[in-house]
Amino acid sequence: MIKLFKKIYYYFFIKKIIKKNVTYNRNKNDDRYILEEIIFPFILTNYNPQKILDIGREDYEIFYNEFFKNRELWTIDIDPKRREFGAKNHITDNVVNLEKYFKNNTFDFILFNGVYGWGLNKEKDVQDAFNAIFNILKKGGILVFGWNDEVVPFSKINGLLKLEPFYLKPLRGTSFTCNNGAHHYNFFIKN
């Protein structure tokens, strides 16, 4: 009953934020629709994350701060010009350096969307980034990993191999391919 109430609450909570900030029409399988209107409400309803990290921030994501209002949201981006798009807690640095800022087992939810293959391309950097993400994710924490091209084979990424694929019920799988631009989401949990 409480779960149903939360589900309805976050459905309308998200819709209200979208209505205020998204001015274009989008298809139900577009990557932003999937992320904002399926993945976020599911995570908020079922995991109630208190500490959240969003890696890589563009201008079209400033309003993501609203989704995580009254929670401890951190953002990081390598480009100093992206600071203005970040959360109140923003770091300008390379994702590979995350452990300089955070202790092991800090975050309940990490969003790592559109950075692997979009700047983070070298194998060593990819390894370092995923090892750091694994370490700073809490036990039971969720990673949503969004990507377009497999620039380093997943089967070689140690930090990723330490995580378990996570079944995201509303998308009926541990991954999802969106219909625009072959964007993919993979879901993981740290057990």
Q: Decide if residue 120 touches ligand SAM (CB under 6 A).
A: yes
Q: Decide if residue 21 touches ligand SAM (CB under 6 A).
A: no
Q: Decide if residue 99 touches ligand SAM (CB under 6 A).
A: no
Q: Which two tokens stand for residue 5?
A: 């109430």
Q: Decide if residue 173 touches ligand SAM (CB under 6 A).
A: no
Q: Decide if residue 115 touches ligand SAM (CB under 6 A).
A: yes
Q: Which residue is nearest to ligand SAM (CB)?
A: 119
Q: Decide if residue 78 touches ligand SAM (CB under 6 A).
A: yes
Q: Which two tokens stand for residue 60?
A: 């079209």
CB 190 within 8 A of CB 139: yes
* Residue range at the interface with ligand SAM (CB under 6 A); choices 36-44, 102-110, 117-125, 169-177: 117-125
Query: Nearest to residue 94, comparing CAs of 128, 144, 48?
Result: 128
Query: Nearest to residue 45, comparing CAs of 170, 136, 138?
Result: 170
- How far is CA 118 from each of CA 44, 56, 66, rounded to the nearest angstrom? 27, 10, 25
Q: Decide if residue 95 touches ligand SAM (CB under 6 A).
A: yes
Binding site for ligand SAM (CB under 6 A): 56-58, 61, 76-79, 82, 94-95, 113-115, 118-120
